[in-house]
Amino acid sequence: MFDVIWNLASFIIALGILVTVHEYGHFWVARKCGVQVERFSVGFGQPIWRRTDKHGTEFVVALIPLGGYVKMLDERVDEVPAEKAHLAFNNKSVYQRIAIIAAGPLANFAFAIVAFYLMFLIGVPSVKPYIGDLAPDSIAAKANLPVNGEIVAVAGQEVNDWQDINMALVGEIGQSSIAIKARQPDSVYAKEFTLDTSNWQFAPEKTSSLASLGIVPFAPKVHTEIAVVGEGSAAARAGLQIGDTLLSINGEAINNDWRFFAAEIKALAKQEVALTVLRNNQQVALTVIPDAREVNGKQAGYLGISPKLDPWPEGHRITIGYGVLGSFPESMERTWNLVVLSFEMIGKLITGDVSVKNLSGPISIAQGAGNSAGYGFVYFLGFLALISINLGIINLLPLPVLDGGHLLYYLIELLTGKPVPEKIQELGFRFGALALLTLMSIAIFNDISRL
């Protein structure tokens, strides 16, 4: 239950910030262009807070936090007194109307740059992308990528960590081959390897890009010796102690495989489990009842213990940061790369290279917000930047109910010298609403199917 509340709270905070940024872009430029703004609302439905400023603009926080809007004076919507006609949106030049509409998505991109700047200024804890192993007969194994080698570039892009690699690989979906540069730990020279991805079966909703290629990232060895026992946890109540080595679960040998043990416990929430541990060179039998917590809508068992880990090798752990001056160009580049990648993914959705099963809706966003906030502020900043970019791009799609649709109409007006006829606009709005509803339905269905 706590996970649901945490995810929901993180989602509301994240969406509230991003909607406010987007709508403020419209609001600020509208004011600069001399348009009277009647209402600035974050959320829809019943207002829970409101205030009116000296310009007559009503600022509202509404009950349903799934969007927002800026209501401007407009003769097409309401009757406007003659003395206020010059303040109406529809009476502004086409260039001003384009600027007002484009300001929302541009504000989202600007926010992403600021968020990434703060992220790089603080520094992002990460690990260098050393290959731990290759799955037998996998694409990576057939390309002879070096085990224990460090990946330094993917498809011509320099990479610092596994997140960079994942982004670069996703951008190569649909390509028949991918060039990867890697070097051995004792070498300063990188060698290029070509992965044959003509038959690459990558389903992002089921697995990661790395796993689908057969690349196993290096990680310190996890032992089945207990390093931490949480106070008041199921493990503590059962008598498990720091230093115990797990030998068997319900009579089945664990064989020093922590992942196997963790998976078994996860499936046995609120059930009696027989454990055998090695304590002071003697085998001790214990009975434990794992506590339950909700993970992705399902009950999962947990004991409240952590295993002993080998230390990371020297030089593997890094902090990605660029200082006060260096963080700005890096944040600009990261934002640009994500904008390009997002448009490429939209193109691949249209061509069928990427399945619509990869679309995500509010549930996935809420889970992502909760997870990133749980990892720490710097990761939440990265999540906000990513969602802000996606929000900006979605609003630029040429659907009449979105900013991109309005921009399309104004560009046509700019080229032809006259507005798009009202009937055509109305048909466009209906088509746009239907298309957007279809996309949202697919995204929400995908969210529910992943629970």
Q: So which residues are the catalytic ones? A: 23
User: What whole-number distance in Å separates Cα of residue 315 and Cα of residue 334?
Assistant: 24
3-state secondary structure labels for all residues of 263-313: HHHHCCCCCCEEEEEEECCEEEEEEECCEEEEECCEEEEECCEEEEECCCC
Number of neighbouring beta carbons within 10 Å of residue 207: 12
DSSP state of 362: H
Contact 108, 392 (CB under 8 A): yes
Residue with tokens 């310190």: 220
Q: Which is nearest to 388 in space by CA: 15, 139, 26?
A: 15
Per-residue burial over 231-254, b if 16 or more Cβ lie within 10 Å, else e, is eebbbbebebeeebbbbbbeeeeb
Q: What is the DSSP string of 82-114?
A: GGGGGG-GGGS-HHHHHHHHHHHHHHHHHHHHH
**Residue 89: Cβ within 10 Å count:** 24
Which sign, positive or negative, has the C-alpha torsion 418, 421, 426, 431? negative
E strands, 104-204, in order: 124-127, 131-134, 150-154, 157-158, 177-183, 191-196
Q: What share of the chain is helix, strand, coil (3-state, %, to 5)?
A: 45, 25, 30
Contacts of 305 (CB under 8 A, 6+ apart): 226, 228, 229, 230, 233, 235, 240
- Quick one: how far is CA 10 from the chain centroid? 13
Q: Single out the residue of 167, 306, 300 nearest to residue 228, CA to CA.
A: 306
Q: Which residue has the tokens 């989602």?
A: 11
CA distance 189 to 130: 15
Token pair, residue 339, equals 């904008």
For residue 53, count CB atoms less than 10 angstroms from its CB and return exposed for 0-12, middle for 13-18, buried for 19 or more: exposed
Helix axes 94-122, 403-416, angle to 10 degrees: 140
Tell me 56's DSSP state. Answer: S
